[in-house]
Each structure stands twice: as C-alpha cells, then as structure tokens.
Amino acid sequence: MAVGFIQPLVSSNQQPSSMYHIPVLLHECIDGLAIQPDGVYIDATFGGGGHSREIMKHLGAEGRLIGFDQDADAAKNAIDDERFTLIRANFRHMRRFLRLEGIAQVDGILADLGVSSHQFDEGSRGFSYRFEGPLDMRMSQGDSTTAADVLNTYDAEDLQKIFSEYGELRNAKTFAHAIVAKRMQNPFRTTADLRAICEQEVKGELHRYMAQVYQALRMEVNDELGALRDLLTESKELLKPGGRLAVITFHSLEDRLVKNYMKHGTFEDEPEKDFFGNFEKHWKLITKKPITAGAEESKKNSRSHSAKLRVAERV
Ligand SMILES: C[S@@+](CC[C@H](N)C(=O)[O-])C[C@H]1O[C@@H](n2cnc3c(N)ncnc32)[C@H](O)[C@@H]1O
C-alpha cells in the first residue's frame, strides 16, 4: 500500500471543479457538519473540491480545512487559501498525516466515498467500461495492484468472492471460472478484454452486468471497505466531543458499515459489550435514517441516485 506525500498548495486555475465532479447532497452535508467558524475540518475525499469550497464559505479567519485525496489529479483543484491544506494520501492514514500538521483533534469530518466523475470519464484510468483503456482502476497512481493484476492472479475462489460480495453477480462462480480459463490463453490487459468475457457470460442486461463487474474490481483494487473501516475508526479518535462525522456511501456494504459503526461503535450489527454487559456509547445519531437526494438533484445529477448520507456526533 503506497502512502502519499504532503502536497504543497497549488492554485486552482484549471478546469472548473464542476466539470471534474458535481458534489452530491452538498447542502445536506453542510447542515450535517454544523460548522463552527473557528473549527478544524477534514474533507477526506477532496476530489473536485466542491464540498470543500462550501465548507470554506462557513469558516472564519481562524478556521482550517484539511483535504485528503489519494489521486494526484485532485491536486489541480486545490483551493488557494491559507486556511486550506491538501494532503495527497489515503484517508485511512489521516491521523498520522494530521499529526505532521500539528493537529490532534478536529471538529468535523466529511467523506464522500467512491470515485469522482473525472476518474470515471478518464479512459486511461480504466474505471469505466464505456472507454477503451488499460485495466487499471487504481485511485492512487502509486499503488501496486491494478484490476488486470486481480484478474490475472487471483484464484477462482477469491474472484468468485469479490464478484459475488461486491458486485452481487448472480453467476459469480461461473464468471470466475471463465476468467481463469480465459487468462490461460491470454492475460487480461484492456477494458476490451474484460468486455469480451462479460459479453460471453452475461446474465441479464449487459450494461448492468458490466457495471457490477467493474464496481467489484474497483472495490477490490482500492480496498475500499478496508479503507472505510480505518476511516471510521480514526474518526472516533480524531473528533472532539460534539464533533460531527458525515459520510456519503454508494454501495449497500459501505452503508451497512457506516450505519453499524454510528449506531453501535462496531462494524457488526450489535454493540460491543464489556464483561458486565455494558456498552460505551461513542456516537449520537443526527440522522436516524440516511438522507438521500431529492427529485430535483436526482434529475440533474444521476450520480446522486444511490447516494446515502449519514451523520453522527461524537459524544
Ligand atoms: C466522490 S469523489 C469526491 C468528490 C468531492 N466531494 C467533490 O465535491 O468534488 C471521491 C474522491 O475521493 C478520493 N478517494 C476515494 N477513496 C479514498 C481514500 N481511501 N483515500 C483518499 N482519497 C480517496 C477519490 O480519489 C476521489 O477523488
């Protein structure tokens, strides 16, 4: 796992961030964070900086915002403001990088999970079946394992597991075995190679099937659930009492982790009890049910369809 470096401030003079990514549930996130003007905030998934720019509007002269993104491309959206710092690193290592900035505790953390529209739309990154390109799918260009590596080296059982759990493919076992057979003739290299086997093995509608296959591979390549578990654990340590955590998820497995962690302080569906059967309450739920996009946002931004926002306060 490659760990990033601290990115110096870069002024934003390139493409408008709305072309890079349109932030989802923007005002709902800002409301959820209940921003204090002199507080210290983290945007764990900076991307195009849409959420960050809105947070900055609510900060006073003493406030601070630290953005994290593991993708080098996000640096071109950095906000030219002395209250803002962008760190190129995986958010799973937040605490370590914040210590280097002299920050031990913060007032709010926002995470808008998954990939940005920019990452999807850049064929050379291999995130989308819509483009010809290498089977890459690494969010951090410094990481070592690509989607092609997963397809060419995982055994059939592991492939079945990721396609079944992350992609919810109904024929995950058949698909996994077909991959293993195919790669013995030719290793997987490009999105066209993957498309060919999807066309051969598809159950139901091809685009939906490929979307599920791509999602599963992307989650595996970037260890997205592992990183989310670390983010949640680190948030508990980092947030001051009264500090807010706001997380937007796009996959039911992610939402379940966030829901359980905010409700019980564990990743399981029940609280962690001590020897006497007591359990320590770490969070107060601000959203009892997840917030989803309204009709207008859904119409304007198709990415918002599956977004779920949950907010909790550290107690
Ligand atoms: C959905 S986009 C965020 C968009 C952003 N909220 C905006 O308004 O433009 C997710 C971003 O988080 C980054 N990301 C995802 N997982 C990450 C992780 N574990 N560590 C650091 N960055 C991550 C991706 O590279 C991507 O740029």
Q: What is the pLDDT along the chain (315 residues), one digit of tens a residue?
A: 333 333 333 333 345 566 899 999 999 999 999 999 999 999 999 999 999 999 999 999 999 999 999 999 999 999 999 999 999 999 999 999 999 999 999 999 999 999 999 999 999 999 999 999 999 999 999 999 999 999 999 999 999 999 999 999 999 999 999 999 999 999 999 999 999 999 999 999 999 999 999 999 999 999 999 999 999 999 999 999 999 999 999 999 999 999 999 999 999 888 878 888 888 889 999 999 999 999 999 999 999 999 999 999 999
- Residue nearest atom 15 in ligand 1 by C-alpha distance: 114
Helix (H/G/I), strand (E/B), else coil: 98:
helix
The domains found in the chain, sorted by start residue, are 5-117+224-314 (3.40.50.150), 144-221 (1.10.150.170)
Which pLDDT score is estimated for 92?
98
For residue 245, CA distances in Å to 102, 110, 242, 253 come to 21, 6, 10, 18
Instruction: Return the residue whose CA atom lies nearest to atom 24 of ligand 1.
Output: 115
Between CA 103 and CA 90 the distance in angstroms is 17
Q: Is 67 near ligand 1, meaning CB less than 6 Å away? A: no
Sequence-distant contacts of 160-163: CB under 8 A, at least 24 apart? 162/216, 162/217, 162/219, 162/220, 163/212, 163/213, 163/216
Query: How far is ligand 1, taken at its centre, from the CA of residue 202, in Å?
Result: 30
CB of 140 shorter than 6 A to ligand 1: no
Q: From the CA of 275, how far away is ligand 1's center (Å)?
A: 39
Residue 17, pLDDT score? 65
Q: What is the pLDDT of residue 97?
A: 98
For residue 275, the model assigns a pLDDT of 81
Pocket test for ligand 1, best of 19, 27, 30, 45 (most atoms within 8 A of CB): 45
Sheet holding 40-43, edge to edge: 5-6, 84-88, 64-68, 40-43, 106-112, 239-249, 308-314, 283-285
Contact 56, 83 (CB under 8 A): yes
Q: Which atom of ligand 1 is nearest to the CA of 48?
A: 9
pLDDT at 279: 83
Q: In angstroms, rounded to a whole number, what is the distance separating the alpha carbons of residues 201 and 197?
A: 6
Ligand 1 centroid vs 74 CA: distance in angstroms? Answer: 8
pLDDT at 276: 85
Residues 6+ apart with CB under 8 A from 216: 162, 163, 165, 166, 167, 169
**Closest Cα to atom 2, ligand 1: which residue?**
116
Residues 25, 297: Cα–Cα separation, whole Å: 8
Other CB atoms within a 10 A radius of the CB of residue 64 amount to: 19
In degrees and rounded to multiples of 5, residue 98 shows phi and psi of: -70, -35
Q: Which residue's CA is the closest to the ligand 1 atom numbered 13?
A: 45
* Contact between 66 and 98 (Cβ < 8 Å): yes
b/e sequence 252-290, b meaning 16+ C-beta within 10 Å: eebbebbbbbbbbbbbeeeeeeeeeeeeeebbeebbeeb
pLDDT for 295 equals: 95
H/E stretch holding 94 reads helix 94-100
**pLDDT tens-digit series, residues 43-93:** 999 999 999 999 999 999 999 999 999 999 999 999 999 999 999 999 999
Pocket test for ligand 1, best of 1, 25, 69 (most atoms within 8 A of CB): 69
